[in-house]
């Protein structure tokens, strides 16, 4: 995925609308993490936290941490394990049937090397039926291909091809899965 960085200067004051939205998201995140999951109340909060961009049959095991959940789109039948961190200032799309294990970090923003109060943000795209192993970290601007696998504790700094299996720090391609074995 080749996209330009968005720069956000944290020294600039938020507008009243931005401040209210941040407060709303923070309150919803707190409610989500303090509501018994697998209930209608919990599901209602999930949908509201993600501005309705939360697909049918998708679920998140709490706790969930992060920022800018309103910039995240979650497809249908997505499972996200406990302790997921979504630093989503750069935007994030998680397509249908994705599996994200516990303790995964999805990071769309970083700090400028010379101006630490400036965020550089790039979106993350996780395509259909990808599987992200426990403790993996996906960094800004990465596209994770369909039916791919990210090994546990891997740090993904570059795009992962469709059907690719990557492991390590930094993650490296070790295998390509047989696409004939998947139903698309």
Residue 122 sits in a domain of what CATH number? 2.160.10.10
Residue 182 covered by a domain: no
Residue 57 covered by a domain: yes
- Of the listed 24, 34, 111, 175, which one is catalytic? 111
Residue 34: active-site member: no
Burial code (b: 16+ CB inside 10 Å, e: under 16) for 100-115 equals bbebbbbbbbbeeeee
What token pair was written down for 9?
A: 């200067």
Instruction: Output the tens digit of pLDDT for each of the chain's 184 residues.
Output: 555 668 888 899 989 999 999 999 999 999 999 999 889 999 999 999 999 999 999 999 999 999 999 999 999 999 999 999 999 999 999 999 999 999 999 999 999 999 999 999 999 999 999 999 999 999 999 999 999 999 999 999 999 999 999 999 999 999 999 999 998 8
Q: What's 63's DSSP letter? A: P
Residue 184 covered by a domain: no
Residue 2 covered by a domain: no
Judged by DSSP in three states, 30 sits in: helix
Residue 167 covered by a domain: yes
pTM: 0.95
CB-count exposure of residue 2 (10 Å: 0-12, 13-18, 19+)? exposed
Residue 147 covered by a domain: yes
Q: How many domains does the chain have?
A: 1
Angle separating helix axes 40-49 and 16-33, nearest 10 degrees:
150
Residue 142 covered by a domain: yes
Q: Provide the residue range defining the domain that includes 81.
A: 13-175
Residue 114 covered by a domain: yes
The 10s digit of each residue's pLDDT in 59-100 is: 999 999 999 999 999 999 999 999 999 999 999 999 999 999
């Amino acid at each position: 995925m080749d996209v330009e960085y968005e720069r956000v200067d944290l020294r600039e004051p938020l507008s009243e609308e931005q401040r209210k939205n941040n407060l709303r998201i923070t309150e919803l995140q707190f409610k989500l993490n303090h509501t018994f999951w697998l209930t209608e109340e919990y599901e209602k909060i999930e949908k509201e936290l993600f501005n309705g961009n939360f697909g049918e049959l998708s679920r998140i095991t709490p706790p969930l941490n992060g920022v800018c959940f309103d910039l995240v789109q979650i497809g249908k039948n997505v499972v996200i394990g406990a302790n997921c961190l979504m630093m989503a200032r750069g935007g994030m799309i998680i397509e249908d049937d994705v599996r994200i294990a516990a303790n995964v970090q999805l990071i769309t923003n970083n700090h400028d090397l010379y101006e630490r109060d400036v965020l550089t943000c790039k979106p993350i795209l996780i395509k259909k039926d990808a599987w992200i192993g426990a403790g993996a970290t996906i960094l800004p601007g990465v596209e994770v291909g369909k039916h791919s696998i990210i090994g546990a504790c891997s740090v993904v700094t570059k795009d992962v091809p469709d059907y690719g299996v990557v492991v390590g720090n930094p993650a490296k391609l070790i295998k390509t899965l047989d696409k004939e074995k998947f139903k698309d």
